[in-house]
Amino acid sequence: MKPSNPMQQLQQWKANNGKSSERKNASAKSAVKNSSNLKFEETSKTQQETQGETKNKYQGKLYANPLAFKFAQLTRQFKLILDSNRKCLEVYPDDFHHKLKMRDEMVDLIGRLKAGGKLLNALAKSQGITFCRDNQSTLKDFNQANGYLIHKFGEVVAQIERLNIERIEGEKLQGVSNE
């Protein structure tokens, strides 16, 4: 019977395939009679191997807030906002000023969230040792949620700014072609 848990399935597969690969390795070792007489030359790594090493290195800051997975529906709503912004520019370019207004509101909200987070953290630090574990946990949760919202609102703001630049460049091109 196959286990329903993917991790158990993987362990079972490794156990089954590990035995067969051990047998293959053992038979391959016995095929060479005087393996001590064999000489192995060191070869340099291929170009593909060296490229793979550089790609695996950590590059830049990755956004890894655990709330992105916990709040999957909220993350989906932010994705819909991004899709809506793109669609608005394509279908209703004359009404894009509403998106610019939303961008300004989000920039204001980001500023308020950042200021509130700094204030709360400063208050928490001023309490010092008297700060209990429950409050520390609550503060950590708040900082994660605050960071999540700031990041998501920032994504929307950045996209609206990019779309606005596209819109302005498109208007300039149309103005040149109409003349």
CB 70 within 8 A of CB 145: no
Kindly state the tokens that stand for 122.
């400063």
Tens-place pLDDT, residues 137-174: 899 999 999 999 999 999 999 999 999 999 999 888 88
Tens-place pLDDT, residues 17-76: 876 555 555 555 555 555 555 555 555 555 555 555 544 444 444 456 777 778 889 999
Cα dihedral 7, 9, 15, 21 sign: negative
Cβ neighbourhood burial of 167 (10 Å; 0-12, 13-18, 19+): middle
Residue-level pLDDT at 21: 53
Domain ranges of the chain: 67-178
Q: pTM value?
A: 0.60
Q: Residues 78-110, buried b or exposed e (16+ Cβ, 10 A)?
A: beebbeebeebbeeeeeebeebeebbeebbeeb
Residue-level pLDDT at 32: 53
Residue-level pLDDT at 23: 56
Residue-level pLDDT at 96: 93
